[in-house]
Structure 1
Amino acid sequence: MPGLLLSLTYAVTYTRWLHLLVGAIVPFACALVYPGLIDPSPADWLLIAVLPVPLALIAALVPSVRRSEGLQARLMLFPGPYARGRTGEDPGVSTVSSASWSDRARTGVWLVLRLETGLVIALLTRELWTLALSLAGAAAGDPDVADPFLRVPATGWGYGLLAPVPVLVLIVVTAGTGALMARAARRLLGPSVRERLSELEKRAERLLERDHIARELHDSLGHALTLAVVQAGAARTAGDPQFTDRALEAIEETGRAALEDLDRVLLVLRESGRPAAARPTLGDAGRLLDSARSSGARVDAEVTGPVELVPAAVSREAYRMLQEGLTNVLRHAGPVPVGMRIAVEKAWLRLEIRNPLPGTAPVAGTGGGRGLRGIRERAALLGGEARAGRDGGQWLLRVDLPLR
């Protein structure tokens, strides 16, 4: 009871009341045609309640009616974003058109419920307001100022104290009915199984996109920072001004490329509607080789097969795998000789990166980073496989990706 009384102070109580009264418009409009609203009998009121039902069921067949009812329910049956007493939960009412016969059936039940409940609340509103006016009139000496269903038998100032009671009763009943209608809206206008599956798919896509962006930042920025650290260390120990100038130039180019990648990813995050810059593909692998060589590593690259015919999605992911593979070599083994092979066969793309394992250097890829795991995840998403491990006295990273 305290909660119900507290609800009298909420604006949503009165928007629900209005929502219920709007539902009574159709029954009263039908009643104006037949049987009329002049001194109707109980049988007439029953007919007035039944006549709009076929119209409601026919209207429910129109797909957009469900969307319209969902929007009204969200607006009037649930608290707004800044309303007092708002729980912050999703109303759970769909705002899309009917997509199945189940949706149409539930919409039909909702429309009938809304019409009948609205008619009852409209009649109750009329009677209780009329009774309140009659009680106020009786306190003033004129009980016939209104014509309620329950007549006031006499006059007297004491009836003035009773005048607010019918209004309070009406508000309490309306608040309870509105809360029940909100629950019914969740059941009858709530998302269908198809909508829930669609929402789950969209959520999964958003999570995959976030994971993809995280990988992009890890690969691009990690590669740039690793090269910068290796080049700066080599320049410091070399003591050669010309080598230092080349190292600084390489750091500048690597940093500029990393900033371009960062801007492209931020464009995606902001969803500004502007097209993001194109992601690099295997055709841009020369940039990776140049940056690795500028850090002091000797990279021997072998490319066989038509790289330009590799599908765009595979080519983009293959570029990132090569980038991460070279980054791992420089991070864990330093500027050592590196052998890289890109082979395009009939239905597969093979990537290989080899580097020696100096006894004083840690094994590439065995650290606690996410590089190799990211490569394996990228390969698995494309239906391929990535393997890394010792191969004699070398460390070998091999990736096989299907071209279809």
Structure 2
Amino acid sequence: MLALPRLVFRAVTFTRWLHLVMATVLATVCALVHPGLAGLGTRQAAWLLVTPVPLLVALAMVPAVRLSEGVQARLLLFPGAHDGGTPASRSASWGDRWRTALWLVLRYELGVLTAFLSVWVPPLTWALLRSADRGRVLDPAPWWPAGEGRWYALLAPLPPVLLLVFVVAAGAALAAAARALLGPSAAERLAALEERTERLLEHNRLARELHDSVGHALTVAVVQAGAARAAGSAEFTEQALAAIEETGRHALEDLERVLGILREDAPPTAARPTLADAERLLTAARGSGAQVTSDVSGPLDSVPGPVSREGYRIVQEALTNVVRHAGPVPVSVRIAVGDRAVELEIHNALSGAGGTVSGSGGGLRGIRERATLLGGQAEAGAHEDGWRVRAVLPLG
């Protein structure tokens, strides 16, 4: 009984009542056509529960009707809910159309009953109150008990309470039906999950792109600036500034390309670098003081685009880690293009302080993820008194 006032003053109770009685517009139109509101009796009113059903089924075959019903249900059955309502979408299959038809019929039947009770409860309550005041039954109905009318005052609150209980129960049932009948099907939920997964994978890929490109540029710039200041040579400083400028320019191109992907209205941006552009990575590493030797075999231009682009990023991240953690040490880079796979190997000696690269860092994790997404594998760890990053990327 204490919960009754809370039910009365909840906004969702009134919005669901409104959603229910809105369905009786069709019943009113049918009654106006035949037999007219003045000639509407009990039998004709009962036929109104059946007559509009074929029309409702026909309306459900229109794809946009499902969208309209979904919007109404979300606004009136779930007011203020951001994730508990039903998504609004057009009918995409015949299964959606038949579920929409079932929804329209259910909403119509519950709406007619709600409207009937809403119309008859106020005069019934008023008649009970007047009967208690006059001491006799006014406007008696066939189902009313005979006798004095004063005790009908005790019955006067019962019809509004029953109406409220019916509206709350019907609204809850309609909300549950909306989730089941207007909500996405199993195929639609699977498609939405796949789309969300693709979006998350794309975000992760863009994060790796920014990490590798911008991280590489900043590492080269910091190392080059430090080396130039320590060298005290105008010629070396000039070379360092040129390397910083070139690396920064490439990083800006990569940043602009990634931002262009995020902005749908952005103009086309520069293509992503591939293994054919790996020489600029070697040049930047040499400019940072590393003693880089390279061994490139096989046609780089024949490597498929996705493999070549991801391979470039793997080499870039490996060289960035060498410059950042090991310093100016000997580094060997091997890029071998075979018939079935591309093999990448970056091996560096350890610095005098024994610096290495942790095998659990974000950069190395990104290398493994890139290789795994291409169906290959990558490993990093100590190898022959040094540190090696090795990746095998299938060409198929």
* TM-score of the superposed pair, with normalisation by structure 2: 0.83
Residue in 2 that maps onto 1:108: 101
Output the CA distance in 2 between the equivalents of 1:322 and 1:179.
Answer: 59
Residue in 2 that maps onto 1:52: 52
| 1:279-298 alignment runs, 5 A limit | 279-298=272-291
Residue in 1 that maps onto 2:69: 69
Q: What displacement does 1:338 show?
A: 2.2
1:79/1:300 CA distance change after superposition, 3 Å: same
Q: Which stretch shows the higher mean deviation, 367-376 or 113-122?
A: 367-376
Partner-residue secondary structure (3-state), 2:49: helix
| 1:135-150 alignment runs, 5 A limit | none
Output the CA distance in 2 between the equivalents of 1:31 and 1:14.
Answer: 26
8 Å contact 1:7–1:13 — kept in the other structure?
yes
Q: What displacement does 1:137 show?
A: 9.5
Identity of aligned residues (%): 54
Counterpart selection for 1:353 from 336, 339, 346: 346
8 Å contact 1:303–1:341 — kept in the other structure?
yes
Partner-residue secondary structure (3-state), 1:49: coil
Q: What displacement does 1:267 show?
A: 4.3
Output the CA distance in 1 between the equivalents of 2:103 and 2:164.
Answer: 23
8 Å contact 1:8–1:172 — kept in the other structure?
no
Q: What displacement does 1:313 show?
A: 1.7
Partner-residue secondary structure (3-state), 2:380: strand
Q: Is residue 189 of structure 1 aligned with residue 189 of structure 2? A: no
Q: Is residue 124 of structure 1 aligned with residue 117 of structure 2? A: yes
Q: Which amino acid aligns with 1:6?
A: R
Alpha-carbon deviations, 1:40-75, whole Å to 9, x = none?
A: 443322222112223223333333332221122112
1:66/1:382 CA distance change after superposition, 3 Å: same
1:75/1:366 CA distance change after superposition, 3 Å: closer
Q: What displacement does 1:393 show?
A: 4.5
1:178/1:374 CA distance change after superposition, 3 Å: same
Output the CA distance in 2 between the equivalents of 1:186 and 1:224.
Answer: 51
Output the CA distance in 1 between the equivalents of 2:127 and 2:203.
Answer: 66
Q: What displacement does 1:201 show?
A: 1.0
Alpha-carbon deviations, 1:252-271, whole Å to 9, x = none?
A: 433343344334434444x3
Q: Is residue 374 of structure 1 aligned with residue 366 of structure 2? A: yes
1:235/1:32 CA distance change after superposition, 3 Å: same
Q: Which amino acid aligns with 2:307?
A: V
Output the CA distance in 1 between the equivalents of 2:112 and 2:360.
Answer: 69
* TM-score of the superposed pair, with normalisation by structure 1: 0.82
Residue in 1 that maps onto 2:26: 26
8 Å contact 2:327–2:351 — kept in the other structure?
no
8 Å contact 2:31–2:40 — kept in the other structure?
no
Partner-residue secondary structure (3-state), 1:98: coil
1:240/1:39 CA distance change after superposition, 3 Å: same
| 1:234-249 alignment runs, 5 A limit | 234-249=227-242
| 1:153-232 alignment runs, 5 A limit | 170=163, 173-232=166-225
| 1:314-353 alignment runs, 5 A limit | 314-353=307-346
Output the CA distance in 2 between the equivalents of 1:318 and 1:239.
Answer: 36
8 Å contact 2:78–2:84 — kept in the other structure?
no
Counterpart selection for 1:388 from 346, 362, 380: 380
Residue in 2 that maps onto 1:84: none
Q: Which amino acid aligns with 1:346?
A: D
Output the CA distance in 1 between the equivalents of 2:113 and 2:305.
Answer: 64
| 1:62-101 alignment runs, 5 A limit | 62-80=62-80, 88-91=82-85, 93-101=86-94
Output the CA distance in 1 between the equivalents of 2:4 and 2:298.
Answer: 76
1:73/1:149 CA distance change after superposition, 3 Å: farther
Output the CA distance in 2 between the equivalents of 1:26 and 1:192.
Answer: 28
1:219/1:62 CA distance change after superposition, 3 Å: same
Residue in 1 that maps onto 2:42: 42
Output the CA distance in 2 between the equivalents of 1:180 and 1:169.
Answer: 16
Partner-residue secondary structure (3-state), 1:288: helix
Alpha-carbon deviations, 1:149-185, whole Å to 9, x = none?
A: 999x9xxxxx99x999977765564344323322221
Q: Which amino acid aligns with 1:310?
A: V
Residue in 1 that maps onto 2:266: 274
Partner-residue secondary structure (3-state), 1:362: coil
8 Å contact 1:130–1:148 — kept in the other structure?
no
Q: Which runs of 5+ in 1 are unaligned?
A: 82-87, 154-158
Q: What displacement does 1:107 show?
A: 2.0
Output the CA distance in 1 between the equivalents of 2:142 and 2:167.
Answer: 19
Alpha-carbon deviations, 1:215-274, whole Å to 9, x = none?
A: 1222122212322232233223323232133223323433343344334434444x3531
Partner-residue secondary structure (3-state), 1:237: helix
8 Å contact 1:130–1:147 — kept in the other structure?
no
Residue in 1 that maps onto 2:6: 6
Residue in 1 that maps onto 2:149: none
Output the CA distance in 2 between the equivalents of 1:172 and 1:391.
Answer: 76
Output the CA distance in 2 between the equivalents of 1:373 and 1:124.
Answer: 65
